[in-house]
Amino acid sequence: RKEVEQDPGPFNVPEGATVAFNCTYSNSASQSFFWYRQDCRKEPKLLMSVYSSGNEDGRFTAQLNRASQYISLLIRDSKLSDSATYLCVVTGGSSNTGKLIFGQGTTLQVKP
Amino acid sequence: GAVVSQHPSRVICKSGTSVKIECRSLDFQATTMFWYRQFPKQSLMLMATSNEGSKATYEQGVEKDKFLINHASLTLSTLTVTSAHPEDSSFYICSARLLGAGSVNEQFFGPGTRLTVL
């Protein structure tokens, strides 16, 4: 079983749509959770951290359910520029090693 | 945000040669840097954790004699792919860990190095 599992997609949505991505992780000891965005042939860039209380940054909302080991990302009012691969990332093992475990990524294609 | 550079951005080499990739944190000191590899349509996979002044910690399945890591200063880590073969062709990405307030430790990624071994 992969440590971080995501539906690879692709998700093809029209501009303005709301789209949700889900992710599950296997290591209950993971302490920190993130969503990264990766454009084609580029490095990943941090989109947002994810907290149990949920957090919102503009059109993006992230949620964490520790009991279910489940993370979600909601994008409202999709823009063409949102087209990218979204990576679910968790820290591996004990809290301070800094190891990041990446999911395979979910590809989003926003169409006009 | 903090800036991490990688050099070269792209390299094409013949089978059997060694390739060195540099990772630099430009505006902060990084006691820890990480090296990842990403094959097409796959996830980033951590290869090793590079600690300044000490030996790197390699992930299971990564050959330490093939992927030599040196972290000689607080701003520079190097990865050398020794005797590269076509199966080593991949996108190699480094990151540097920024120690922030509280428990949030963010990593900043370099732009990556695309290695093609002929």
A44-53: pLDDT as tens digits:
999 999 988 8
Asked if B114 and A46 come within 8 Å (Cβ–Cβ), the reply is no
Mean pLDDT of B19-34: 90
Nearest to A98 among B34, B36, B110 (CB): B34
User: What is chain A's length?
Assistant: 112
Question: Residue A94: its pLDDT value, please?
Answer: 58
pLDDT at B116 exceeding the cut of 60: yes
Asked if B43 and A87 come within 8 Å (Cβ–Cβ), the reply is yes
Query: What confidence tier does B54 reach under pLDDT thresholds 50, 70, 90?
Result: confident
Interface of B with A (CB under 8 A): 1, 32, 34, 36, 42-46, 49, 91, 93, 95, 97, 103-107, 109-112, 114
Asked if B112 and A43 come within 8 Å (Cβ–Cβ), the reply is yes
Q: What is the mean pLDDT of chain B?
A: 90
Asked if A32 and B105 come within 8 Å (Cβ–Cβ), the reply is yes
CA distance A18 to A28: 30
Mean pLDDT of B92-99: 88
Nearest to B111 among A43, A92, A97 (CB): A43
Question: Residue A73: its pLDDT value, please?
Answer: 97
Question: Residue B14: its pLDDT value, please?
Answer: 96
Query: What confidence tier does B104 reach under pLDDT thresholds 50, 70, 90?
Result: low
Q: What is the mean pLDDT of chain A?
A: 92
Nearest to A98 among B1, B93, B105 (CB): B105
Give residue-wise pLDDT tens across range A27-46: 988 888 999 999 998 999 99
Question: Residue A2: its pLDDT value, please?
Answer: 82
pLDDT at B103 exceeding the cut of 80: no
Query: CA-nearest residue of chain B to A33?
Result: B104
* Nearest to A33, CA basis, from A20, A42, A23: A23
Helix then strand count (H, E) for chain B reads 0, 11
pLDDT at A87 exceeding the cut of 50: yes
Higher pLDDT, A86 or A94: A86
Nearest to B109 among A4, A43, A95 (CB): A43
- In angstroms, the first-to-last Cα distance of chain B is 36
Mean pLDDT of B81-89: 96
Residues 30-89 of A with CB under 8 A from B: 31-32, 41-46, 49, 87
CB under 8 Å, gap of 24 or more: what pairs does B56-62 form? none
CA distance A13 to A16: 8
